[in-house]
Amino acid sequence: MREPALGSGSVYTSTAPPLYPNLAAPAAPFPNPPLTEYTVSQMQIGADLRSIAHHGRPLPPLSCLAITLLLPVSCVAALLLQPASGQTMPAKPLLIYSIDVEGGQSTLLVAPSGASLLIDTGWPDANGRDADRIQQAMRDAGVTRIDHLLITHFHVDHVGGVPELVKRVPIGEFLDHGPNREDSDITRRDYAAYLKAIEGKPRRIVHPGDTIDIPGLQTIVLTADGEHIAAIPGVKPTSNPGCATEPKWELDTTENPRSAGILVTFGQFRFLDLGDLTKAKEIPLVCPDNLIGTVDLYLVDHHGFNLSNSRAFVDAIHPRVAIMNNGAHKAGSPEAWQTVHQSPGIEDLWMLHTAEDSDAAHNSSAALIANPKGATTDGAYLKVVASPDGSFSVTNSRTGETKKYSAK
């Protein structure tokens, strides 16, 4: 089923000139304080210097001071990078930003190595709004290029932002599931615009079981072009009791069930993003056996449409925390919200917007919503900071407040 077009609201009707081409900060997209707490950790030397200063590192031994006179640069550098006695440097985190593209998808991952993966690019037009917001997240993470751009499928709320983004940001490679399969003029148009935008640039078609080479992370493709992985290396399939009561869902013929979906593992931390995969394609991943196992963070399928998020699937993946990338008037359906909300392992369901066409009983509390109804600003994102021990936090960029989830 085709998704609704852009919603209403002043954000779509701005007549301001485009901000590109430049990498300067956009004109105050929202007045939040900068989230520097974790950005610092992406800057190794700066972080080390701060850590040493903070912990009051003892004076270096005399021998090294003597050597310093002969080899000032190398020795001083070695001393500065050496952890304080009895202390270990904290592991650098994985950063994940769920960027507000008003009911589309754009999710930025930055590994401890600084390597980056962007999943989808939001919508076209709107004066480059979604590219602005992607660049805002990139600045917060301290990256200036995208190493890998995965396009989950060729609907405009995912692929539409590519032509604008490629004008602004260096992108190492483009990953997608292969040719558009949807028999519709609009998606043929959006696919053609994508091909034109990436002409001459590295493109790789991904298949289930393929990996994306991001140092420090294990990133594996679970679904693509309607196919799915038979088994995930290192994951033992387990029987899923929820399959017995799950209805048989009809397959739709759009691009949605062809979404390229990935599982990202960082030590004990696991993140699942399956794009707009619909129910008929969710079920084979978890029935009769759950091939995925459980995850810590689940990007809610298809922005929280009830065409996705079957109960047997959501319960099986057992997310601790979920993020729904809905728009104010797109997706966030009561049925999907309820399924995720009452899944057995859930601690919090975060949302990018209040689902204004739903009701209070099927929306999260305001603290868990980046852009609640009535907010004076728009475009706030949710930032996840994950550690390899499985602990992680979520920060709401609108409020600057962070909620922590301890390792299990």
In one-letter notation, the amino acid at residue 131 is A
Find all residues with CB under 8 Å of 136, minimum gap 6, and list them. Answer: 25, 26, 29, 99, 379, 381
Stretch that binds Zn ion, among 59-67, 238-246, 268-276, 338-346 (CB under 5 A): 268-276
Q: Give the binding range for Zn ion (CB under 5 A) out of 149-157, 191-199, 357-365, 370-378.
A: 149-157
Token pair for 54: 């903070």
In the complex with Zn ion, the residue whose CB is nearer, 302 or 320, is 302
Burial class from Cβ neighbours inside 10 Å (0-12, 13-18, 19+) for residue 53 reads exposed
Q: Which window, 40-48, 184-192, 257-265, 272-280, contacts Zn ion (CB under 5 A)? A: 272-280
Helix %, strand %, coil % of the chain (to 5): 30, 20, 50
Cβ at position 109, least distance to Zn ion in Å: 18
Task: Name the minimum Å distance from CB 101 to Zn ion.
Answer: 10
Q: Nearer to Zn ion by C-beta: 1 or 407?
A: 1
Exactly one of 140, 276, 301, 378 binds Zn ion (CB under 5 A); that residue is 276
Cα 370–373–375 angle (5° rounding)? 70
Q: Which CB, 273 or 276, lies closer to Zn ion? A: 276
Amino acid at 303: H
Q: Which is nearer to Zn ion, 93 or 104 (CB)?
A: 104
Which residue, 26 or 122, is less far from Zn ion as judged by CB?
Answer: 122
Could you tell me the smallest distance in angstroms from the CB atom of residue 73 to Zn ion?
51
* Binding range to Zn ion, per CB under 5 A, among 17-25, 56-64, 270-278, 370-378: 270-278
- 359 alpha-carbon distance from chain centroid: 26
* Closer residue to Zn ion, CB minimum distance, 301 or 378: 301
Query: Cβ closer to Zn ion: 93 or 160?
Result: 160
- DSSP-derived pairing of the beta strands 297-299 and 321-324: parallel
Stretch that binds Zn ion, among 14-22, 234-242, 274-282, 355-363 (CB under 5 A): 274-282
Least Å distance, CB 94 to Zn ion, is 24
Query: Do residues 178 and 154 make contact, with C-beta atoms less than 8 angstroms apart?
Result: no
Place of tokens 């062809």: 258
* DSSP helix/strand/coil, 87: coil
218-224 and 227-228 beta bridge pairing: antiparallel
Shortest Å, Cβ 3 to Zn ion: 6
Distance CA 401, CA 35 (A): 10
Q: Name the segment binding Zn ion (CB under 5 A); options: 43-51, 194-202, 275-283, 366-374.
A: 275-283
Q: How far apart are CA 305 and CA 324, in angstroms?
A: 10
Residue with smaller CB distance to Zn ion, 157 or 246: 157
Q: How far is the CB of 279 from Zn ion (least distance, A)?
A: 15
C-alpha dihedral, 15 to 16 to 18 to 24, nearest 10°:
-160
Site string for Zn ion, 197-236 (x = CB under 5 A): ----------------------------------------
C-alpha span between 277 and 309 (Å, rounded): 9
Nearer to Zn ion, 100 or 157 (CB): 157
Q: Is 321 helix (H, G, I), strand (E, B) or coil?
A: strand
**What is the phi-psi region of residue 377: left when phi exceeds 0, alpha when psi lies from -120 to 50, beta otherwise?**
beta
Q: Which of 100, 140, 157, 190 binds Zn ion (CB under 5 A)?
A: 157
State whether residue 94 is helix, strand or coil. Answer: strand
Write down the residue that tokens 């004109």 correspond to.
Answer: 27
Binding mask 85-114 for Zn ion (x = CB under 5 A): ------------------------------
Choices 110-118, 151-159, 208-216, 278-286; region in contact with Zn ion by CB under 5 A: 151-159
Residues touching Zn ion, count (CB under 5 A): 2
Our finding on whether 301 is near Zn ion (CB under 5 A) is no
Q: How far apart (Å, rounded) are the C-alpha atoms in residues 131 and 166?
A: 9
CB of 100 to Zn ion, least distance (A): 14
Residues that bind Zn ion (CB under 5 A): 157, 276
